[in-house]
Homo-oligomer: A and B are copies of this chain.
Amino acid sequence: MLSPREAVRMLPSYHPPLGGRDGLRLDFNENTIGCSPRVLNCLRHVGMEQLARYPEREPVEAAVADFFGIAASQLLLTNGVDEAIHLLCQTHLEPGDEALIVVPTYSMYRIYIMATGAQIIAIPAGKGFCFPTDEVCNCITPRTRLIAIANPNNPTGTVAPQQDLLRLAASAPDSAILVDEAYFEFYGQTLLPKCREFPNLFVARTFSKAYGLAGLRIGALIGNTDQIHSVRRVSSPYNVNAVALACLPEAIADQTYIQHYVNEIRESRTRLEQALEASGIYFWPSEANFVLARVRSTAFIEQMRRRGILIRDRSNDQGCEGCVRITLGPRAHTDRLLAALQETLEELGMTQEQGASPA
């Protein structure tokens, strides 16, 4: 009787909603107004030949590397960041190894680590979800082969100091250090230039968030040339689709669009944080395109949905009891969000006194 490997039998199921998301979708940290119009124009010119031929990743890899200011040999384009994580886990982890994550964090680290049969060491974040650098360093053993960190972190929006991440990289030279910068554009700080200096440092980027291309599935894994060469061996040469490859150079070229969008999101972030503060709802100051807030009400999400706003329940994440994650859109979407928020708080009788208790 065929049965999967024990590591696969033990995997948690990750099954986000894959349909029926009607309303203003502030639940997946997507770009709610879409990509640069120049990308859409590019899509309109994709021809029959590009659909019929196996995609040719290398010229676009060179263009993206150039944009990042690194060598093409330091970069692997991937089928979204998920594939970057998957390939990095497969390159470095096997049964008997240990992988460190700081929780709460992005769910897929756990799944791809566990699928290899390696053991997860989950270290709780500190007070205010601060990055517990000392605790992580103390958990490094000779069996540690991967430390995966989202920075800014999801679902908290918090960040780890760059010096702390580099200290980790120096403390665990036999371990891959993945710094997942999916939300980089909303934060502005990156460890990308450090990949040459720290041969065990990997940075992941995505075009799903600020660039508004989640549907196309394009991520990038960046690291030392030799290390990326190893990861590339486990990857299909045709992992990124031809439409993504056709559109990506245009997406990168339109930085005016990205800058404008990011500025609007940052303004929306301030507005939402001020509204939460005024209502006495506890939240964690965010460096990403979302805010995690402790609403302490099971009816909150449903009340927001009735008002046409989808937000994400994060109450099952460690330390996130009663929390929701709210994605930020540009100005007009934030107007709708704040109006629905106000109505919901009134309807649920969530006065300042109730909400203001410490997290």
Task: Return the contact of A55 from the options B5, B8, B14, B217 (Cβ within 8 A).
Answer: B217
Given contacts A53-B28, A57-B18, contact A40 B48 (CB under 8 A): yes
Contact A34 B15 (CB under 8 A): no
Does A316 make an interface contact (CB < 8 A)? no
Does A73 make an interface contact (CB < 8 A)? no
Contact B51 A34 (CB under 8 A): yes
Contact A115 B43 (CB under 8 A): no
Whole-angstrom distance from the CB of A36 to the nearest CB of chain B?
10
Give how many copies assemble into the complex: 2
Binding site for B on A (CB under 8 A): 1-5, 7-9, 11, 13-16, 18-19, 21, 25, 28, 30-35, 39-40, 43-44, 46-59, 79-80, 82-83, 86, 90-95, 108, 111, 115, 117, 173-176, 199-200, 208, 212-217, 227, 230-231, 233-234, 236-244, 247
User: Told that A5-B94, A94-B95 touch, could you supply 4 new A-B pairs with CB distance under 8 A?
Assistant: A9-B230, A28-B53, A53-B214, A54-B214
Interface of A is mostly: loop
Contact A52 B16 (CB under 8 A): no
Minimum CB distance partner of A14 in chain B: B237
Contact A51 B212 (CB under 8 A): yes
A244 neighbours in B (Cβ, 8 Å): 241
- In the complex, A298 Cα to B154 Cα: how many Å? 55
Whole-angstrom distance from the CB of A56 to the nearest CB of chain B?
5
